[in-house]
Every structure is written in C-alpha cells, then in structure tokens.
Amino acid sequence: MPTPFLMPALSPTMEEGTLSKWLVKEGDTVSSGDIIAEIETDKATMEVEAVDEGTIGKIVVQEGTENVKVNDTIAIILDDGENANDIDAASMSAATSAPEIPGNMPAAQPTMATKPSFVSVPDIEIPDGTQMVETVVRDALRDAMAEEMRRDEDVFVMGEEVAEYQGAYKVTRDLLQEFGEQRVVDTPITEYGFAGLGVGAGFAGLKPIVEFMTWNFAMQAIDHVINSAAKTRYMSGGQMGCQIVFRGPNAAASRVGAQHSQDYSAWYGNVPGLIVIAPYSAADCKGLLKAAIRNPNPVVFLEHELLYGDKGDVPDMDDFVLPIGKAKVVRDGSDVTISTHSRGVFFALAAAEILADEGISAEVVDLRTLRPLDAETVINSVKKTNRLVTVEEGWAPFGVGSEIGWQVTQHAFDYLDAPPMRVTQEDTPLPYAANLEALSLPNAEKVVAAVKSVMYL
C-alpha cells in the first residue's frame, strides 16, 4: 500500500512549519536517510530524511507552502511494484487524519494521584533495666557504623581521611583496624567523583556510607546526590535503586568562614527521593544512623561538628534502631512550641530553661528527620500551646522554618494565637570575625526573644 509521508515535528514544540523546498520530484526513488525536503520551523531550517524506501508517487503539498500542520500528508511514497494509480482516496484520507497525541488529551483515568500521607511510627521500646552508657556523639556515630558493618558485609565506608587518618573528625576511628582497607576506603580529594562512584556501587548492590569531610564540600557532588541517587528509582519505574548514606558535618563550626559554614537542611529537604536526617542527641545519632544504613533509599545524614564532642546516654542494646520520620518532644511545655533540629535543639532547650525561670513553659520538638517530615508532632504540639517558634541554623528564605510555619498555618490555623516566628542565621554569608559570627547565628537569647514576641510580652 502507498505510504503517506507526513509533515514531521522537528522539535518538541513545533506545531506547523513552512515546506520551503522539495529536493525530490515525483518518480524519484528514495531510500532511508535520503534528504527529500527542507522545512522551516520557528527556530531553524531543517532537512527532512526519508524513512522508508520507495518511489515518490505524489507530492501533495507544494514547496513554498506555509503553515503546514504537523502530521499532514506532504507526499506519497510508493513501494516496489506500485504506481500512481495505487494512490487512492482511502490512503490519502487515512494519512491526513492526524494521529492522536496522547500528551494533549486528558484520557479518562480511574484513579487520581494522591500523595501518600506520612504515618508516624513510635520509637522502639527500651526494655526496663537497660543500661544507659554515656557516649559522645562521634562515638555513637562510629558505633552505629561498626555495628552495621559487622552485620552486613555489603556496608562499607569511603571518603577523605576516613581510614589511615581515622577520620578528619575521628568519627571513623578504629574502623580501618577492624574492617580493613577493602571496607574502609580513603579516597582522593575528589567529591564529585567518589560520590558518583559510591552511587554506582549502590546500583550494583553494595551499601556505601559516603563521608563528606563537610557538607560544604558536597556542593561539588550534589549532582550525584540528587540526579543520580535520588531520582533513579523513579526514572526506572521502581526497578533500580541505591541504598546509600551520605554523611558528614553540616552547618557552622567555629570561625571557619563562609565557605565552610553553610546549613544544607533546606536544600536536601526539598528533594523527593531523598531521606534527610539531622539528629541532635547521641542516642538519636546512633539509632538513626543505623536506620539510615539499613534503609533502601538514599539518605542524607546531616551531623554537626560542634555536637561531635557532646555526651549523651545511649541505651546499651543489641540492636538500637530508631524509626526514620519521627519527631520527638524533648521537653514538655504548655505556652509555646519550639520546633527545631540538630544544634538548634541545644539553643531551644537552653532558651526553655531561661523562659522557665520567667514562668513561661516552652515545649521543644526535635524534628530529627526532615524528609519525610513529621509535621504532625509539631501540629499537635501547637494545638496545645497555640504558639510556634522555629529555630534553624540555615537562612530564613525558603527554609525549614518556612515549611514548618506553612504546615502549621495550613493544619492548625484556628489554633494559633500569634503568627509563627522564625529564628535563623541572619541573611548573610557567615562572617569570620567572632563578634559578627555570633551576631549572625541563632542562639538561646534570640529564641527567648522570639518566644516573647509570639507571646506579645
């Protein structure tokens, strides 16, 4: 049967074009790849190639014709043994009816998309009589990795100075001695490269823990964290994922200047496909890092250099694994809710002490996980206290506090007695001078002031 040659779409947006020139005439034979016409689009003049072999039976649209619609028949190509008499009305009309382009037609669909809602899971039960061991945060993190590496041979650690040097912040201390250089891998200074290499190893079934000496350096690697790790499960229709933990210290340390002091909570918290954890206490650091290593998804684990030396009680249990996506009320109160995470918890708890002396009862919620976000715990708290202050070390615009504030106004608007307030880093790169640095960062006094503001005191 004669084959219609249709006006092609030559770009994702083209709907019509000018057939500027025919390079063949009726009776010419063509084979696949031969240029047969030139077509002008809104962007360029393009050459059009034949796809099928045959003879030009009829030129339907003459050269110079403008506004030729995509998918209109512009010529008829005859197969071997056919001639012009075979071009009948049927083949013409069949050809000129434009195919339905699915993207342009909302097809009837039985199910509307619904976003799955977050279901909170309670913390694990700690059996009565469990001994609590005072542990510094860096060791709690180390213990989590060591335990998981003992449990699963596919877990390994890689990063700069993680092995021989024992970790730039000693978080990987003694891992090399126990697990050897195959599983504790010193990398060159090559963040983009080793982040990608880790993701590739994850595609192949290993469970890498990739340490960034600081999350500031992960800016070099963010493409692999987001484009390669977070999006692949979706892009593959669910058949390929990547069980990987990216971890390291986040946010400001102490007078290390603007390039080493950024808080990336909001950046990663923005990305579907990632799990983002930013714990405060030693116990949470251990229980959540163990959960992160076991989780089949890519996890961004944001630690804090200024917390590495902090002590806290960690339950001495065989398998202390905490649920991801569950906030924790770390101080009960009735007058105001302070929602925070990571080192912000320290400022919030300190502020709560000061406020208690003044007769104000503050409830402190440690978000612990930023994605999936347990907004429910904050909302329930605000329904009780009627006031909200958020605290974070990142910048205010588009930040974690902005998200929490929106969640609360959306779901507990009628409970609010005052507009929520945010305590954040000032909207500046972090300065080096001690006085300016202190001025830029959040602290307990700023939290106290924000609480008083929402209480109209």
Partner 1 sequence: MASADATTKKTNLSATKEELLTYYRDMLLIRRFEEKAGQLYGMGHIGGFCHLYIGQEAVVVGMEAVKQEGDQVITGYRDHGHMLACGMDPKGVMAELTGRVGGLSKGKGGSMHMFSSEKKFYGGHGIVGAQIPLGAGLAFANKYKNNGKVSLTYFGDGASNQGQVFEAMNMAQLWKLPVIFVIENNHYAMGTSVKRAHSETHLYRRGASFGIPGSEVDGMDILAVREAGRAAIEHARTGKGPFVLEIKTYRYRGHSMSDPAKYRTREEVDQVREHSDPIKKCEAYILDGGHATVEDLKAIDKELKQIIKEAADFSLESPEPQLSELYTDIYA
DSSP run (H or E) holding 378: helix 375-385
Asked if 341 is an active-site residue, the reply is no
Burial (CB count within 10 angstroms: exposed 0-12, middle 13-18, buried 19+), residue 414: exposed
- Least distance to partner 1, CB of residue 130, Å: 31
- Least distance to partner 1, CB of residue 215, Å: 19
Tally of CB atoms within 10 A around 113: 5
Distance between CA atoms of residues 214 and 212, nearest Å = 5
Helix (H, G, I), strand (E, B) or coil at 393: strand
DSSP run (H or E) holding 137: helix 137-151
CA 195 to chain centre: 15
- Least distance to partner 1, CB of residue 131, Å: 34
- Which of 81/129 has CB closer to partner 1? 81
Helix (H, G, I), strand (E, B) or coil at 21: strand
Tally of CB atoms within 10 A around 219: 17
Asked if 191 is an active-site residue, the reply is yes
- Which of 195/282 has CB closer to partner 1? 195
Nearest to 337 by CA among 309, 373, 394, 377: 377
> Looking at this protein, which amino acid is placed at residue 265?
S
- Which of 98/439 has CB closer to partner 1? 98
Q: Which entry of 147, 148, 191, 303 is annotated as an active-site residue?
A: 191
- Least distance to partner 1, CB of residue 457, Å: 43
- Least distance to partner 1, CB of residue 148, Å: 16
- Which of 9/92 has CB closer to partner 1? 9
Q: Which residues pair with 338 in a beta bridge?
A: 364, 389
| Beta-strand pair 362-366/336-340 | parallel
Distance between CA atoms of residues 218 and 276, nearest Å = 14
- Which of 148/305 has CB closer to partner 1? 148
- Which of 274/322 has CB closer to partner 1? 274
Q: Which entry of 63, 260, 376, 426 is annotated as an active-site residue?
A: 260
- Least distance to partner 1, CB of residue 44, Å: 4
Burial (CB count within 10 angstroms: exposed 0-12, middle 13-18, buried 19+), residue 12: exposed
CB half-sphere exposure, 249, CA atoms < 13 A: 23
User: Which residues participate in catalysis according to the annotation?
Assistant: 191, 260
